[in-house]
């Protein structure tokens, strides 16, 4: 089963007189011919607004209930922030590759139930099998997506249904059996999450990495294959997304004060994707912000702590729906103002094979008018005047007998 490379057999040549095969390697969107680097200014502006909203909401939470930001309550808040952050990273990673993983919520709940039942066997013995099963499930999902070349949301929704079947085998909440307390290392966990989120955003801003991660994003017919490199990267992203969701479920189960309730977990999926979109990750894939995921996770977590302090009853479905609604508006802004500037010719990268550049550069092709070249048309022969014969010259002819 071969993989097609979009744009390699295109017969339409853009106005820039660059062949379509070369455009596949130069431009991020060869169908549209966008040259140059993506603009990150729109992400920075949005992240400043997120930071302002987080500061305002934090101040309101401090005034409403300052105890939430002290002692054990603060550590619980930070661990919950890390758990939601891992889910947001899982959703954002799959969104970046244009193959959204809708199974992250059910996978998190299933991992939480497994940890709650097996936690008394030790952290490694209870978490290890959950991560291994999540990796295998993510691999099966990835193979279905890249081999059949079907939308990630559809395949992952089927996978989520299978995980929900596993969850519904339990009819009652499960009390956590382990004694692991993530609150003792809340600061380290939050610092690790923040580092991963920020470094991921910074690396994702590099054009070569952005192109590589988002290569699965369609540029013409979405049913056409995007190549072997795109398939491999998307498969790795789906496996990593599923593993991150399992780790998030374990952390949330260990952080919760009560038992783990066997719910389908789709509300966690909605919340995770909403937070990823709210942070500036495009719903179309490839484009994303720098600090947006960290700020969006912090903003949503603080709001979930602020709502009970004000006596509001807000569930995850409501918060996730609002986050997705705002995130879709952010996607429109990112896709509109994040594209390279019109007429940009910035192309610092060498032109290679489109997957792993060899460092060789390819000269621009020159237009050819006519081939083979045509010879100039000879002038029409003039009629010969018999009265201009050399025998009838006006001047006398000289004969030098000495030179004969």
Average of pLDDT values for 206-213? 88
Q: Which two structure tokens, joined as six digits, stand for 181?
A: 């307390």
Facing residues of 174 across strands?
260
Backbone torsions φ then ψ of 174, nearest 5 degrees: -110, 125
Question: What angle separates helix 123-148 from helix 152-167, to the nearest 10 degrees?
Answer: 140
Number of CB atoms found within 10 A of residue 118's CB? 17
Query: Looking at the predicted structure, is the pLDDT value of residue 37 above 80?
Result: no
Per-residue pLDDT tens for 260-306? 999 999 999 999 999 999 999 999 998 898 999 999 999 999 999 99
Backbone torsions φ then ψ of 113, nearest 5 degrees: -65, -40
Distance separating the N- and C-terminal Cα atoms of the chain: 87
Higher pLDDT, 25 or 139: 139
Residue of 330, 331, 304 whose CA lies nearest to 317: 304
pTM of the entire structure?
A: 0.78
pLDDT band at 39 (very low <50, low <70, confident <90, very high): confident
Residue of 123, 130, 135 whose CA lies nearest to 90: 135
Per-residue pLDDT tens for 46-65? 999 999 999 999 999 999 99
Q: How far apart are CA 105 and CA 88, in angstroms?
A: 10
HSE-CB at 399 with a 13 A cutoff on CA atoms is 2
pLDDT band at 338 (very low <50, low <70, confident <90, very high): confident
């Amino acid at each position: 089963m071969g993989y097609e490379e979009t744009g390699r057999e295109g017969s339409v040549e853009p106005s820039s007189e660059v062949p379509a095969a070369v455009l596949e390697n130069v431009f991020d969107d060869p169908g549209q011919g966008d040259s140059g680097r993506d603009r990150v200014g729109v992400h920075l502006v949005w992240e400043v607004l997120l930071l302002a909203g987080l500061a305002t909401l934090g101040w309101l939470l401090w005034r409403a209930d300052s105890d939430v930001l002290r002692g054990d309550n603060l550590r619980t808040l930070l661990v919950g922030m890390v758990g939601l952050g891992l889910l947001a990273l899982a959703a954002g990673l799959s969104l970046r590759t244009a193959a959204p993983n809708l199974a992250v919520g059910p996978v998190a709940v299933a991992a939480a139930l497994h940890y709650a039942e097996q936690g008394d066997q030790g952290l490694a013995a209870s978490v290890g099998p959950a991560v291994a099963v999540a990796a295998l499930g993510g691999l099966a999902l990835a193979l279905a997506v890249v081999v059949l070349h079907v939308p990630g949301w559809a395949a992952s929704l089927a996978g989520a249904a299978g995980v929900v079947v596993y969850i519904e085998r339990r009819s009652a909440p499960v009390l956590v059996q382990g004694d692991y307390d993530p609150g003792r290392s809340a600061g380290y966990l939050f610092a690790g999450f923040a580092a991963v989120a920020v470094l991921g955003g910074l690396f994702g801003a590099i054009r070569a990495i952005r192109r590589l991660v988002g290569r699965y994003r369609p540029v013409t017919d979405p049913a056409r294959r995007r190549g072997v490199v795109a398939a491999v990267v998307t498969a790795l992203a789906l496996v990593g997304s599923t593993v991150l969701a399992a780790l998030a479920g374990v952390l949330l189960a260990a952080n919760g004060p009560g038992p783990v309730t066997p719910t389908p977990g789709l509300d966690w999926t909605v919340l995770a994707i909403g937070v990823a979109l709210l942070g500036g990750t495009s719903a179309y894939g490839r484009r994303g912000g720098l600090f947006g995921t960290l700020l969006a996770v912090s903003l949503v977590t603080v709001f979930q702590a602020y709502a009970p302090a004000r006596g509001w009853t807000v569930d995850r479905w409501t918060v996730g729906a609002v986050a997705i609604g705002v995130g879709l508006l952010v996607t429109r802004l990112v896709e509109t103002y994040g594209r390279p500037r019109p007429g940009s010719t910035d192309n610092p990268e060498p032109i290679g094979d489109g997957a792993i550049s060899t460092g060789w550069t390819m000269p621009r092709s020159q237009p050819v008018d006519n081939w083979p070249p045509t010879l100039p048309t000879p002038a029409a022969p003039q009629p010969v005047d018999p009265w201009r014969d050399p025998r009838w010259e006006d001047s006398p002819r000289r004969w030098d007998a000495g030179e004969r």
